[in-house]
Amino acid sequence: KRIVLLPGDGVGQEVVQSAREVLDAIAEQFDHEFSYQACDIGGAAVDCSGTPFPAETEDACHQADAILLGAVGGPKWDQNPSHLRPEKGLLQLRKSLGLFANLRPIKGFSQLLHASPLKEEVVGGSDLLIVRELTGGLYFGTPSEISKDRESVVDTLAYQRMEIERIVEKAFQSARLRRKHLTSVDKANVLESSKLWREVVEEKKAEYPDVTVEHQLVDSAAMKLITNPTQFDVIVTENMFGDILSDEASVLTGSLGMLPSASVRTDGVGLYEPVHGSAPDIAGKGVANPIAMILSTAMMLRHSFQMDEEACAVEEAVQEVLNFGYHTADLHIKGGEQVNTKEMTRHVV
């Protein structure tokens, strides 16, 4: 299996190193062979090659079976023009590889629930998956431009029916592997794109009679994620709605530093990255929490390599390490022991 490593910026470097060590352990124990190729992306790539998504990186990613990304961005590049911003590299990577489905599982660890801003009786037991459309919608439609005189501006939310169909299918399939409940989120009382979205969901549901389907307006979903997060199993939604809702959902369980994500397409090729950012304030200090990256790696094993047993082994190792009370500086476990990135990685290995 060819894996491209894109450490990117900030703590990305450190956590991708952790992922690699965990993969080496899996390779040894399960007798697999993983080959690694590291490439630049984001701010690091801007600094070295003058672009956030160099051609060599793009080529390598197109050859890969899967990609592990650390994080992109940092204050150093915040004032750059858009084509030289680290985020642009990530957007181009998703688009270039056609990674249309962003999967964001959100599940609390009982040891960490105390860190949730929500009351335990509200958030306890919540376990949801947000399926966000990732290569269409408002973030990619054209025209998207400011007029020459800077007096007006336009962005475009556009979809082909096929783009909606494939993400909705992915969501139904994901629901089937879980608690079989799908919430489709839109703004069908205002947006035409949401009406087509809802039409596609209604059409597809005939093929998944075992999955119950519900439609929710995005404003209402933003409320219910907080007041009643346990009502959700799988949520499917447009790119920008998904961006907002998945970040909102990511803070509910108090485990932000632990959350993985996958961006995949139908043939199984995927990009795996932690939900947290590049954390420039602690970068290079060896104290970053590698668990979100490690759990992203488990998602890679499962989704891109069909190595379900291996994925479970990684996830169980993480759970056990938490059971022992080990945690990095961003977290607290009562009666636990604080460790650094390397130690945490070693414990999981």
Ligand X SMILES: CC(C)[C@H](C(=O)O)[C@@H](O)C(=O)O
Query: Smallest distance from the beta carbon of 52 to ligand X, in angstroms?
Result: 11
Q: What is the DSSP string of 298-326?
A: HHHHHHTT--HHHHHHHHHHHHHHHHTTE
Q: Any bridge partners for residue 338, and if so which? A: 327
- What gap in Å lies between CA 136 and CA 133, rounded to an integer? 7
Q: Which of the stretches 80-88, 169-177, 283-291, 307-315 binds a copy of itself when contact is defined by CB under 8 A?
A: 80-88
Catalytic-labelled residue, pool 88, 170, 187, 204: 187
Residues 340 and 287: beta-carbon distance below 8 Å: yes
Residue 186 annotated as lining a ligand binding site: no
Residue nearest to ligand X (CB): 87
Catalytic status, residue 139: yes
Question: Applying CB under 8 A, does 56 fall inside the site for a copy of itself?
Answer: no
Question: Applying CB under 6 A, does 190 fall inside the site for ligand X?
Answer: yes
Select from 82, 209, 210, 334 the one that contacts a copy of itself (CB under 8 A).
82
- What gap in Å lies between CA 53 and CA 135, rounded to an integer? 16
Q: Which of the stretches 86-94, 166-174, 294-302, 336-344 binds ligand X when contact is defined by CB under 6 A?
A: 86-94
Question: Applying CB under 6 A, does 90 fall inside the site for ligand X?
Answer: yes
Q: Give residue 40's identity as a one-letter amino acid code.
A: D
86 or 229: CB nearest ligand X = 86
Residues 205 and 181: beta-carbon distance below 8 Å: no
- What gap in Å lies between CA 63 and CA 113, rounded to an integer? 40
Select from 155, 281, 316, 337 the one that contacts a copy of itself (CB under 8 A).
155
Q: Cis omega before residue 143 (within 30°)?
A: yes
**Per-residue contact string for residues 135-174; x = within reach of ligand X by CB under 6 A:** ----------------------------------------
Per-residue exposure over 105-140, b if at least 16 CB sit within 10 Å of its own CB, e if not: bbebbebbbebbebeeeebeebebbbbbbbbbbbbb
Question: Applying CB under 8 A, does 110 fall inside the site for a copy of itself?
Answer: no
Catalytic status, residue 24: no
Question: Applying CB under 8 A, does 279 fall inside the site for a copy of itself?
Answer: no
Query: Pick from ligand X, a copy of itself, none: which does 122 bind, CB < 5 to 8 A by kind?
Result: a copy of itself
Residue 209 annotated as lining a ligand binding site: no
Report the site for ligand X in 234-253 (rule: CB under 6 A).
Answer: 243
Query: Smallest distance from the beta carbon of 159 to a copy of itself, in angstroms?
Result: 5
Pull the structure tokens for residue 58: 């793009």
Give the residue from 99, 187, 84, 93 showing the smallest Cα distance to 136: 99
- What gap in Å lies between CA 19 and CA 291, rounded to an integer? 9
Q: 């150093």: which residue's tokens? A: 76
- What gap in Å lies between CA 205 and CA 98, rounded to an integer? 24
Residues 188 and 197: beta-carbon distance below 8 Å: yes
Query: Pick from ligand X, a copy of itself, none: which does 312 bind, CB < 5 to 8 A by kind?
Result: none
Question: Applying CB under 8 A, does 106 fall inside the site for a copy of itself?
Answer: no
Residues 127 and 255: beta-carbon distance below 8 Å: no
Four-CA torsion 290, 88, 136, 305, nearest 10 degrees: -40
Question: Applying CB under 6 A, does 82 fall inside the site for ligand X?
Answer: no
60 or 90: CB nearest ligand X = 90
Query: Pick from a copy of itself, ligand X, none: which does 79 bind, CB < 5 to 8 A by kind?
Result: none
Question: Applying CB under 8 A, does 122 fall inside the site for a copy of itself?
Answer: yes
Select from 219, 281, 316, 320 the one that contacts a copy of itself (CB under 8 A).
219
Torsions phi, psi for 21 (to 5 deg) = -65, -40
Query: Smallest distance from the beta carbon of 9 to a copy of itself, in angstroms?
Result: 14
Which residues carry out catalysis? 139, 187, 219, 243, 247
Binding residues for Mg(2+): 219, 243, 247
